[in-house]
Amino acid sequence: MVINGKINSADTYGSSELFVKLWPKLLKAAAIEAVADSPENSSQNAVALADIESFLETAESAPVKEERTITDRIHMVNRETEKSLFLTTLDRGIVLHKNYLMK
């Protein structure tokens, strides 16, 4: 998601079914955040693909800040840099969700 020409966040899911189920809520949340953060005279500059790729790659390669076992199946890994936070949720080692957040 890009708001006012700045990278905000990204989500990926381990299955298209999960994404399709969550899509309406994701879209609504993104729209609300965009309206709330929209200054009156903002420029709507496009973000370059290279910037998005760099954001994702940097977040994924960040040092692990925390690992937690939630249940016997679910495990979470949090990575953090000065500018981003990357959360991964796994079910027996299979990725369920990746959440990329710009600070």
- Give the model confidence (pLDDT) of 7-37 as tens digits: 999 999 999 999 999 999 999 999 998 888 8
Token representation of residue 93: 């080692």
- Cβ contacts of residue 68 below 8 Å, gap of 6+? 75, 76, 78
Q: Strands (DSSP E) along 21-81, which ranges?
A: 64-69, 74-80
Q: CB of 9 within 8 A of CB of 99?
A: yes
Per-residue pLDDT at 5: 86
Per-residue pLDDT at 44: 67
Identify whether 39 is part of a domain. no
Q: Is the pLDDT of residue 40 over 70?
A: no
Identify whether 59 is part of a domain. yes
Q: CB of 13 within 8 A of CB of 88?
A: no
Number of domains in the chain: 1
What's the distance, CA 30 to chain centroid?
12
Per-residue pLDDT at 37: 81
Res. 51 pLDDT band, cuts 50 70 90: very high
Q: Which residues of 29-62 are buried (b: 16+ CB within 10 A; e: fewer)?
A: ebeeeeeeeeeeeeeeeeeeeeeeeebbeebeeb
pLDDT tens, residue by residue, 52-88? 999 999 999 999 999 999 999 999 999 999 999 999 9
pTM: 0.86
Domain enclosing residue 59, as ranges: 2-34+44-102
